[in-house]
Structure 1
Amino acid sequence: MVRHPLVQLLLLSGLLVAAFGARAEPDVHSITPLDIHILRPASVVPATDGPHLVFEALISNFSPVPMTLSSVRLGTAAQPAALARFEDAALATLLSRPGRPPGDGQPPVTVIQGNTFAAALFDLPLGDDAPVADLRLALTIAPFKPDLPDTTLNTAVAVPVDRTPPVIVSAPVAGTGWVAFNGLSATSIHRTTLMVVDGQARVPERYAIDFMKLTGDGREFRGDQARNESWPGYGQAVLAVADGVIESVRDGFPDNVPGRPPAQKVTLDTIAGNQVILRLKGGAYAAYAHLIPGSIPVRPGQAVRQGQVLGRLGNSGQSDAPHLHFQVGDRGHIAATDGLPFVFDAFTLLGVVADTAAADAGGAWTASQVPQPRRRQLPAENAVIGF
C-alpha cells in the first residue's frame, strides 16, 4: 500500500478548506502551498515625498500545481488591507521574477508555476496615521481545482519591522543641481536588482542613488555627449559622509566613453569600477563607485574626517555616463551586502526630473517649485537637490 502524508493528500485533493482563511481567529491555519518569506525586516524611511515602507517578500510555490495570485493585502490582524491591496495591473507591477525576463510564451507574472517563486517589492507611501505595528501580509489565490470555491485564502504572515533609525550621513558631493537618479522607488533598477552573493539573496542597492549633476541650464551634458568632460559632474570631489575608516579601495580601472559599453569587462569585482568603501561608526558601510582612475588619495585602514576628499567622480565600471553611485550597507562590499536605509542631515530640494528620457536626450530641466530646506530625509527617485 502506498501511504501519503496528510498534507500531500490534502494538496492533491484540493481540499484546502478555504473557509479557514476567511475566519479571523488567530488559531485558524491554512495549508495553501505558498511560502511567504520576508527577505529583510521592513523599514520606514523618511523621504522627500513622505515616509516610505520598504521591504521584499519571496513567494514560493511548494506544490507542482501552478498558483495564480488574485490579490495581495498588507495591513494588520484587525484591518487586513489597511495599508494596501494589490490586484490586476497593480499586482503585476508589484511582482517580479528574478532570473526570468518577460517575453513571448511566458505566463503572466501573477502565475507562480509549480516549484518556482516570485518576488514582491514593497515601497509604500505612508500617511501620518498609517498603522506600522503588527503588520500582516496575505495572499488570495484563484481556484486551481474545479471543486474549490471562488477564492482560496492563504493565512497572513507577520512582517517584522526594523525600528533602527536610518543611518544619518552628510553630503557625498558639494554644490547644487544633483539628480537622485534611480533613487528610492519600487521600480528603479537599484530596487529591482536582487543578487545572490555567497549563497544569500540580498538587495545591495535597496536605497542606492546615482548622483548626476546638471548644468546651469538644467541639462545632463553640454557639447559632445561622448566626452566625459561634457558632463558637469565629471571630476567633482567625492566626500566622506561621516568620520570613519577606509575599509577598502579599488583603483586602476579605465573610464568609459559615455553611451558606449564598459571599457572593462563587468564582473563582481569590476562592476563598481574605481571605488571607496568607508566604515562608519556603528557598523554601517558607505560605498562610492565609478570614480576616476588615479583620483583616490586614501588607503585602507586610514582614518578620515567628514567632508574629506575620497576621490573624483568618474565613469568607470558598469556606468554609461559620469555619475556617483552611493549606497549604505551592512557589510564592506559593494555587492556582498544588504542595503540599509540612510538619510542626509541637510539639503535643499529643488524639484523632480519628471521626464528622464527627455533629460537623457539633452532636454533641459526647469525647476517648478520654490527651493525647500530638508533635514534627515532621503531623496526620492529623480529628485533634484543641492548640498
Structure 2
Amino acid sequence: MASPTSEQTSLWHNADFLRLWAGQSLSQLGSFVTYFAIPVIAVTVLNASPEEMGVVGFLLRAPMVLFLLFGVLADRVRKRPILIWTDVARAVLLALIPVAWFADMLTLAWLYVVVFTIGLLGTMFQVAYRSYFPFLVPPENFLEGNSKLQLTESLANTLGPGVAAALLKVIAAPVLLIIDAVSYLASAVAIALIKRPEDRPEADDTTARQIHRAIWEGVIWVMKHPLIRPLAISSAVFSLFILGAMNSVYALYVIRELGVPAAWFGSILAGGGVGAIIGALLAVRVMRRFSVGGVLLWSIVYGNVALFLIPLAAGPTWLKITMLVASQVVNGVTAQIFFVTNTTLVQTITPPHLQGRVVASIYSLGLIPAPLGALGAGLLAGAVGIRPALWAIITIGALVPIAALAWSPLARLKQMPEPAER
C-alpha cells in the first residue's frame, strides 16, 4: 500500500476531492460566522433569557434525531444532489434573518423557525457528506483526507469568529449571516463541479418496517462493536452536557454574567480555532507516533479537564478572557486530534454498504442528546444561576466520557485495524 503522502496516492492529485475540500472550506468559514452571530443576535438584539437561549439551542439540535432516518436514505440515493440542494436551501434561509431585521420583523419566533430548519438541512448534509467522502477517497487516503478537511475547518474556526467580531463593530449582527449565505452557494457550486459520476443505488420497494430494520442494523452494529461502542457512549454523554447544555448558555455566561464585550466573544471563540489549527496539523504526526487508543483517550482527558477553566473564570476582564481563551485553545487542539483519529477509525472498519447507516448511528448517538441538554441547561440556569449550572454540567460532561474510554478495549488499541473489505 502506498503512503498517503506519496505522489501516486496524494489527494493533491484527486481533483474531485479538491473541489469538495474547496467548497467546504468556504462553507465552514461562513458557518463559524453564523455560530458566532446567532447567539449574539439572541442575546444583544432580541434580549433572550436563559430559558429562551435554551430553546434556541434545542431547536438548532433537535433535527439530529432524524440522523438515523437520513442515514438509511443516504444509502439508497445519490449523495451529491443532497449536498447541493441542502447548501442552496440553507443560503436562502439564512438570508431571511437580515431581511427580517431590515424590515423590523425579526423576533425570537422567526429566529426559532430559521434555526430549526437550518439544523434540519444541516443534518441531511452531514450524513450525505460523511458517506460521500469514502466514495471520492480511497481507504489509504482516509487519514490524509480527514486531516485536510479538519485543518480547513480549524482555519475557519479561527477566522470566522474573528472576522465576525471585527465586522460587528461596523455592521449589525444579523447582517453577518449574509456571509454564510454566500458561502453555502459557493459550496454548492464547488460540489456541482465534481466530475466523478455517482451511480444511482438500485431501486427497491422498501417498506416502513424494512426502513426501521435498516436503521436498527446500523445502531446494533455500532453498539456491538467493541471499539466503536465506547466512542458512541462517551460522545452521547459529551453531547448532552457539553455540546448541548454548556454551549446553549455559553454566550449568555460570557456576555451577560462575566460582562465581556460582545466583540471579544468572537475573539474567545477564535481561540478555539487557533487550537484546532494546531491540532489538525499535529493529528497525522500524533497518530503515527502514538497508539490509536492512547491518542483517543489522552486527547479527551486534556480537552475535558480544560473545560473547568470556564466556570473558574473570575477577576479582571483580561483574566477572564485569558482563562476562556486558554480553555478554547486546549479544546481546539485535542478535539481535532480526537476527531481525525475517531473518523479515520470508523471509516476504516465500517463495511461500505453500512457507511451511511453507521455514520448516522454514531452521529445520532453522539448528538441526539444535545437538544435535551440545551433545553435543560436553560431551565437549570434560570433556576440556580448560570455559573452554578455550568459547574454541574461540566463536572458530569467532562469526567464521564473519560471513564467510558479509559475502561474499554479501545484504550488499549495499538494501531489502526485493517480496512473493511470493499
Same fold by TM-score greater than 0.5:
no
TM-score normalised by length of structure 1: 0.26
Query: Based on CA coordinates, which of the two structures has the bigger radius of gyration?
Result: 1
Higher strand share: 1
TM-score normalised by length of structure 2: 0.24
